[in-house]
Amino acid sequence: MSELLQFLLSGVTVGAVYALVALGFTIIYNASDVVNFAQGEFVMLGGMITVFAHAAGAPLPLAALAAVVATAGLGVAMNKLAIEPARGAPVVSLVIITIGASIFIRGAAQLVFDKQIHSFPAFSGDDPFRILGATILPQSLWVIGGAVAVFIGLWLFFTRTLLGRAVLATSNNRLAAQLVGINTPFVMTLSFALSAGIGALAGVLVTPITMTSYDVGLALALKGFAAAMLGGMGNPKGALVGGLCLGLLEGLTAGYISSQYKDAAAFIVILAVLFFLPQGLFGRKSTDRV
Amino acid sequence: MRLTVKSATLLGLVALIALAPLFFPSGFYYRVGALIFVNGLAVTGIVILTGWAGQISLGHAGFAGIGAYACALAPVHWGLHPALAVVLGAGVSAVLAWLVGRPILRLKGYYLAVASLGMGILISMVLNNERALTRGPDGIEVAELGLRAVLKDAGLELSNGQFWYFLCGLVLLAGAWLALNLHDSPTGRALRALHGSEVAARTVGMDVARLKLQAFVISAVYASVSGSLLALQNKFITPDVAGFMHSVEMVTMAVLGGVGSVFGAIFGAAVLTLLPQVLTVFAEYEQLVLGAVMVLVMIFLREGVVPSILRKIRGGGE
């Protein structure tokens, strides 16, 4: 019993990270129909910038804030320099652009930082809590709490503020949104900033547990993408549920089946979802007008 | 005399394969050339799938992995001749592509990209983890094809580099010829039609899902054979051949050169195969440059380098 609980707890922790990455995918996908494969690099940058700012003497909270802001800025730059100039290009081109951007960011990180594995101290120490025979690190609670806070914050933003509703309107119908006076290029910029910032936050929260290096982004991007697909691409609720399901599944696979194949869970899920449930758990059925 | 695209492409390739060795300063360049041809073959498959049928695959390296490991494992475990192992690999790849593609390609949109991504990563995971069979990430040696010795007995003595250069060149030529024939066949026209508009293609009675599936299976076979050739040539293979980055490379090569044209795509394969060789001096900057090239080409030369240049030469076009 305590064993199962342990697997579930570690699954939820990882799942919270996947959910944040999936949320990043969702925000950009909604605003621009682009599947941003550089999403994982934002997570990597969040961790790496914090590590280096902290090593340079900045207190941890300040270093983390700097990392989130800098990464959000980079997201905006990526939108301006790589995505906006290619507006209207076919999907293949956009996919390649975001993959290219991701390789570029990885290459730059390797030059600016280094190729070592880094970490920084957990926010509230390393003494685990005991729950019914299982243990959980305080940092895991930070990760889960951070994910919950981000989701509540975003939900309020999208439903209670004018700007948030403008973003929703743009994702529903860009042209119509433009016609009622919504500044859609700004919505795009905002979406990239939000998505990059959320990715960086995930990186900051999880680095004390998993550590980080310049090349952790790709795996995270693929998992986050799987989570987004599972939940239904373009649906924030789906991102949350998809991320948690994927994390739990991975935790259970690692515990009961094989830790070597825990990463396979995500991709088997992708294939199963596509075969049996192509819209994802929360996706809408869509029909096209011809 | 006006050349058709098909004969121009094939003549260009023949000239390139035959004349390039005259300029090789050392034997090493045969090896680079052979690598270009191997990549060119895989990329020709991508042209069929992406350029003509309009589908994206992010898992084609998985098929290359199947082709490569078929050559590594089948001769050892079942005593199959390496040449037959190539066929076996292609067969397995085709069946797998059919199984994965059949449910997915009934859907519209980027679902194939996602499904193939998952499939490719699963294949590479199996190759990495089933150490008892594949010896894991360290790689495994591959049997000698044996054709070079046969040629030697027949009086044609080639160095190892030369042999693989010409063999891969010939296979690429055959692959390009088949692809170009397909392009002009009813199936090829149907593929291009559904790329234009799936709804329109369905309205005139085309079995859209089946056509897309055919393109996927054919391109999987190309990737598989290219993986086999790579393994046989190196006599050694690691699971990296099936890695996600290799899939991305294939698509990038095709799109960089021009995904609608066989010659363009092979040109893209040549550029991206040469780039790391040139950049070894700046190994640190390799990823940076590769990423920047991908983004810039997609923004400024959307159709790919070769078609964009051809259009300039012809004076504007549209």
What is the domain extent for residue B14? 5-243
Q: Residue B93 in contact with residue B63, Cβ under 8 Å?
A: yes
pLDDT of residue A76: 95
Q: What is the pLDDT of residue A264?
A: 84
A-contacting residues of B 256-285, CB under 8 Å? Answer: 259, 284-285
User: Residues B296-305: what's their mean pLDDT?
Assistant: 82
User: What confidence score (pLDDT) does residue A286 get?
Assistant: 55
Cα B223 from Cα B89, distance rounded (Å): 10
Per-residue pLDDT band at A106 (split at 50, 70, 90):
very high
> What number of C-beta contacts closer than 8 Å exist between A and B?
124
Q: Check CB contact under 8 Å for A96 and B252.
A: yes
Cα–Cα distance between A77 and A127 in angstroms, integer?
A: 40
A114 → chain B, closest CA residue? B284
Residue A137: per-residue pLDDT: 87
Decide if A39 contacts A24 (C-beta within 8 A).
Answer: yes
Measured between beta carbons, which residues in chain B are less than 8 angstroms from residue A285?
none
Give the residue among A199, A54, A198 at the shortest CA–CA distance from A118.
A54
Q: Is A134 helix (H, G, I), strand (E, B) or coil?
A: strand
Contact flag B291-A91 (C-beta cutoff 8 Å): no
Of the partner residues A101, A103, A271, the one whose CB lies closest to the CB of residue B115: A271
b/e sequence B178-190, b meaning 16+ C-beta within 10 Å: ebbebbeeebbeb
Q: Is the pLDDT of residue A183 over 80?
A: yes
Tens digit of pLDDT for each residue in A203-249? 999 998 888 888 888 888 888 988 888 888 778 888 999 999 999 99
Of A101, A218, A288, which is closest to B291 when you measure between CB atoms? A101
Q: Which amino acid is at A283?
A: G
Residue B255 lies in a domain: no
Q: Which residue type is seen at A15?
A: G
Using alpha carbons, list the distances in angstroms from residue A69 to A63, A66, A104, A163, A198.
10, 5, 20, 20, 10
Q: Which two tokens stand for residue B173?
A: 């030529």
Region of residue A130 (left: phi > 0; alpha: psi -120 to 50; beta: else): beta
Domain presence at residue B223: yes
Angle of the B160-184 helix axis to the B186-196 helix axis, nearest 10: 70
A35 part of contact set with chain B, CB < 8 Å: yes
Return the sign of the alpha-carbon dihedral for residues B194, B198, B204, B209: positive
Reported confidence tier of residue B157, pLDDT bands at 50, 70, 90: confident
Q: What is the pLDDT of residue A115?
A: 86
Q: What percent of chain A has pLDDT over 90?
A: 40
Determine the residue of chain A that is closest to B196 in CA distance. Answer: A90
Determine the residue type at A91.
Answer: V
What pLDDT digit, counting tens, does each position of B40-52 carry? 999 999 988 888 8
A112 part of contact set with chain B, CB < 8 Å: no
Percentage of chain A exceeding pLDDT 70: 95
B288 is a domain residue? no
Average pLDDT score, chain A:
87
B318 falls in which pLDDT band (50, 70, 90)? very low
Closest CB from A100, A106, A260 relative to B298: A100
At which residue do the structure tokens 């098909």 appear?
Answer: B6
| Structural domain includes residue B129 | yes
Residues 281-300 of B with CB under 8 A from A: 284-295, 298-299
* Residue B286, in any domain of the structure: no
Q: What is the pLDDT of residues A31-72, one digit of tens each?
A: 888 889 899 999 999 999 999 999 998 899 999 999 999 999
Taking residue B220's Cβ as centre, other Cβ atoms within 10 Å add up to 31
Lowest mean pLDDT segment, chosen from A239-253, B126-140, B141-155, B243-257 = B141-155
* Cross-chain residue pair B298–A102, CB shorter than 8 Å: no
> At residue A266, does pLDDT exceed 50?
yes
Q: Is residue B89 part of a domain?
A: yes
* Mean pLDDT on B236-261: 85
Q: Which residues of B touch A86 (CB under 8 A)?
A: 298-299, 302
User: A261 and B289: CB-CB below 8 Å?
Assistant: no
**Dist CA B57 CA B115 (whole Å):** 8
CB contact under 8 A, B118 and A226: yes
Instruction: Please enumerate in sequence order all residues whose Cβ is within 8 A of that of A54, keeping only pairs 6 or more positions apart, or say none.
Output: A60, A63, A120
Calpha distance A14→A206 (Å, rounded): 9
Asked if residue B187 belongs to a domain, the reply is: yes
The reply to whether residue B291 touches residue A218, judged by beta carbons under 8 angstroms, is no
Angle (nearest 5°) at CA A182 between A180 and A184: 130
Q: Is the pLDDT of residue A82 over 80?
A: yes
- What distance in Å separates the CA atoms of residue B179 and residue B175, rounded to the nearest whole number? 6
| Chain A residues closer than 8 Å to B137 by CB | none
**Interface residue A105 vs chain B (CB under 8 A):** yes
Q: How far is B55 from chain A (nearest CA, A)?
A: 8
Q: How far is CA B115 from CA A30, A217, B120, B183, B249, in A?
A: 21, 20, 9, 26, 18
- What pLDDT is attached to residue A96? 83
Query: Which residues on chain B are in Cβ contact (under 8 Å) with A107?
Result: 285-291
pLDDT band at A289 (very low <50, low <70, confident <90, very high): low
Structure tokens at A55: 């090593």
A58: enclosing H helix or E strand: none
Measure in Å the smallest separation between the Cα of A108 and chain B Cα atoms.
6
Q: Which amino acid is at A180?
A: V
CB nearest A97 (choices: B259, B285, B298): B298
pLDDT reported for residue B315: 66
pLDDT band at B94 (very low <50, low <70, confident <90, very high): very high
Residues of B in contact with A250 (CB under 8 A): none
Number of neighbours of residue B310 by Cβ within 10 angstroms: 15
Convert chain B into a string of H (helix), E (strand) and C (coil). Answer: CCCCHHHHHHHHHHHHHHHHHHHCCCCHHHHHHHHHHHHHHHHHHHHHHHHHCCCCCCCHHHHHHHHHHHHHHHHHHHCCCHHHHHHHHHHHHHHHHHHHHHHHCCCCCCHHHHHHHHHHHHHHHHHHHCHHHHCHHHCEECCCCCHHHHHHHCCCCCCHHHHHHHHHHHHHHHHHHHHHHHHHCHHHHHHHHHHHCHHHHHHCCCCHHHHHHHHHHHHHHHHHHHHHHHHHHHCEECHHHHCHHHHHHHHHHHHHHCCCCHHHHHHHHHHHHHHHHHHHHHHHHHHHHHHHHHHHHHHHCCCCHHHHHHHHHCCCCC
Tokens encoding A282: 């929360």
Which position has the higher pLDDT, B77 or A144?
A: A144
Tell me which residue of A187, A189, A190 sits closest to A170, measured CA to CA: A187
Instruction: Taking residues A79-96, report their average pLDDT.
Output: 84
Q: Given an 8 Å threshold on Cβ–Cβ distance, is B295 in contact with A271?
A: no
For A201, the 3-state DSSP assignment is helix
Number of domains in chain B: 1
- Structure token digits, residue A199: 């990715």
What is the percent of chain B with per-residue pLDDT over 90, rounded to a whole number? Answer: 16
Across A24-33, B191-200, B261-270, least confident range: B191-200
SS3 A252: helix
Using 50, 70 and 90 to split pLDDT, how confident is the model at B317? very low
Mean pLDDT of A4-24: 91
Cβ atoms of A281 and A230 closer than 8 Å: yes
pLDDT given for residue B283 in this prediction: 73
Rounded Cα distance between B105 and A274, Å, is 10
Higher pLDDT pick, A269 / A15: A15
Provide the pLDDT confidence category of residue A133 given band limits of 50, 70 and 90. Answer: confident
| Residue B227 binned pLDDT confidence (cut-offs 50, 70, 90) | very high
| pLDDT, greater one: A259 or A77 | A77
**B158 part of a folded domain:** yes
- Pairing mode, if any, of strands A134-136 and B140-141? unpaired
Give me the pLDDT at residue B77, please.
Answer: 85
**CA of residue B98 relative to chain centroid, distance:** 18
Which of 149-208 (B) contact A at CB < 8 A?
199
pLDDT, mean over chain B:
84
For the cut 50, the answer to whether the pLDDT of residue B304 exceeds it is: yes
